[in-house]
Chains A and B, each alone.
Chain A
Amino acid sequence: MNDIVIDTHNISRVYNPTTIPVYAIKNLHLHIRRGEFTALVGPSGSGKTTLLNLIGGLDKPDEGQIVINGTDITKLSPGKLIDFRLHNIGFVFQSFNLIPVLTARENAEFIMLLQGISKNERDERIKQLFRQVDLEEQIERRPSELSGGQQQRVAVARALASKPQFILADEPTANLDSKSASNLLDIMNKLNKEENITFLFSTHDQRVIDRARRVITLVDGQIASDTEPIMTSYAH
């Protein structure tokens, strides 16, 4: 069964290669299968964000290959990489990063507009997405009119709007209070279980780590430990 969505082969990312080389990621192998709910943990500077950037196609490794759903993204041109991200990867950022001038609905719809999806399909999907993130009432509000937790749920809806292969979330609960964080985790968990959506997130938050079904610990750009994934969704 080829259910591997993310496959990194011996990737390295080196800063200052000509002076004093600093390995942010060193000879890293990683496989993420469809439906995983994985937390990337480790101390500051361990390479979590760099790894997410590499997997998300925002950065390129100095060595190795990153294969996403069968496509080696290290070989894609910058333009094709942007297009690849649009259709295959959903992003949730620590500080939400919604477009402030657009409403919650427009923020999620924006991705689908970029994908060229028809209005009917967009409308239908928007309804479904906001039901899933439990924000149907706030759909026409602007980010400034939403709480942090609500904004992050809109960000999740936006990330899901493009029907990506997986969602990368960089410290998604870092700016949230505990109730909002718990709420967000419930939603992400539910999406993972019910919709078989793959999540990979970096975190320092013990609550997130506790609810992850696979925890990868990075130290100095290398995997120090990797718990066996507990596959609850894709198996059924």
Chain B
Amino acid sequence: MISLAWKNLWRNKNRTAITMAAVFFAVILSVFTTSLKDGIFDNLVKNVVSFYTGYIQVRKKGYWDEQVLDNSMAYNEKVNAPLLSIENVSGGTPRLETFGLISTNKNTKGCMVVGIDPEKENLVTSLKDKIIKGSYLADGDKGVLLSEGLADRIKAEINDTVYLIGQGYHGATAAGMFEVKGLLRFGSPELNNQIIYLSLPAAAELFSAEGLSTSLVVSLKNPKALKESVDAIQQKISSEYEVMSWETMIPDVKQHIESDTRSMKYIQGILYLLVSFGIFGTLLMMMVERKYELGMLVAIGMNKTKLSLIIIIESVLTVMGGCLLGLLASIPIIYYFNKKPLVMGGEIAVIYERFGFEAVFPTSTNAAIFYNQGFTVLIIGLLLSLYPVYKIIILDPTTSMKR
């Protein structure tokens, strides 16, 4: 039967080629759209995490509503150790954040001052990678890192001295001079125009906040298990702390991902529908073309189960062939757009900048996308091959063999 099915495929090469082409392009389109969707969202989440928030933050209860130094928490190993015992937590880094004024001899500007543990921060947000000029901070460094846009606005260069003024813990006056060690570039214009980093000890000294931090940024081994990790952390630590995921901290990004996922589902639904029509069309063509022959086979004594099996084997071979070729062809395409992402302009770029990100759309190379999409198209093909099976079940040889 397999041999007969195989030979049948080569009998009408055009028909087989058309069916395989329908599946081939369907798989490529399907893999590409899914990969692009996942790539965009993965990139978005990566941006969110690496740009600033991290996956999860632990703060003192009340800080979210009133983000001032007075709502900071004591940071020590008593807070950190329980978190690290959670399986999915890979690390944590403390931050001391507040707003202040930054000046050079030429300009003054409002800014967000962030005290960090340089080494730990780099592990969580890859901050070092954003250095475009100068060097990264060392532990206990007295220098600062300026975001590129901010440096530009206050006309500061590497090795220049900048002045920071603000309000410290419990109303203390904060003022200090710092050397610019490096410049950072963020995709988010919001961050790029206002952020300044200094080491945690330097920040604590500036704001009279020794041993305090406003947040503990937690990094995860498996970012997909976000909710479970938030729950696990909340259970481990005292109720005087609040635990928030990036989804809670930046709800508009999450909503954007959700609404885009819904839209993509409709697009994919339409795509699958087109694929179905493509395959179904060739199946219809095949049934019309082979009506007489199928009637003859039943007439001479081939039972309908075996005949159906032959048609199913033909469909499986055709759809699988198209699927495999489609998957093979999609691999270089997906990898190409992963290495050279699509860069959007116009309105899309404006929308993404509103969220604080560049409109750069890489594809995802997650192997599961290839399996899933290939499998989905295969299932569609197999389900559609039930139509010829149905036609065989109701086939009447005398009617089929009428010329």
Residues of A within 8 A of B339 (CB): none
Residues of A within 8 A of B302 (CB): 82, 86, 114
Closest CB of chain A to B301's CB: distance in Å?
A: 3
Answer yes or no: B252 CB below 8 A from chain A CBs. no
Number of interface residues of A (CB under 8 A): 24
Answer yes or no: A83 CB below 8 A from chain B CBs. yes
Residue A87 contacts which of B7, B296, B301 (CB distance < 8 angstroms)? B301
Answer yes or no: B170 CB below 8 A from chain A CBs. no
Answer yes or no: B288 CB below 8 A from chain A CBs. no
> Helix, strand, loop or mixed for chain B's interface?
helix
Answer yes or no: B100 CB below 8 A from chain A CBs. no
Evaluate contact between B299 and A91: CB separation under 8 angstroms: yes
Residue A97 contacts which of B11, B296, B301, B398 (CB distance < 8 angstroms)? B296
Answer yes or no: A1 CB below 8 A from chain B CBs. no
Closest CB of chain A to B402's CB: distance in Å?
A: 10
Known: A59-B398, A93-B296, A114-B306. A101 touches B301 (CB 8 A): no
Bound together, the chains give a CA A162 to CA B300 distance in angstroms of 10
Residue B300 contacts which of A79, A91, A100 (CB distance < 8 angstroms)? A91
Answer yes or no: B10 CB below 8 A from chain A CBs. yes
Residue of A nearest to B402 (CB): A49
Evaluate contact between A58 and B398: CB separation under 8 angstroms: yes
Evaluate contact between A114 and B4: CB separation under 8 angstroms: no
Flag B388-403 by CB within 8 Å of A: 1 or 0 each: 0000000001100101
Evaluate contact between A86 and B398: CB separation under 8 angstroms: no
26 example contacts (A-B, Cβ-Cβ < 8 A) are as follows A53-B398, A56-B299, A58-B299, A58-B397, A58-B398, A59-B398, A79-B304, A82-B302, A82-B304, A85-B299, A85-B300, A85-B301, A86-B300, A86-B301, A87-B301, A89-B301, A91-B299, A91-B300, A93-B296, A99-B4, A101-B7, A102-B4, A111-B301, A114-B301, A114-B306, A158-B300
Interface residues of A (CB under 8 A from B): 53, 56, 58-59, 79, 82-83, 85-87, 89, 91, 93, 95, 97, 99-102, 110-111, 114, 158, 162
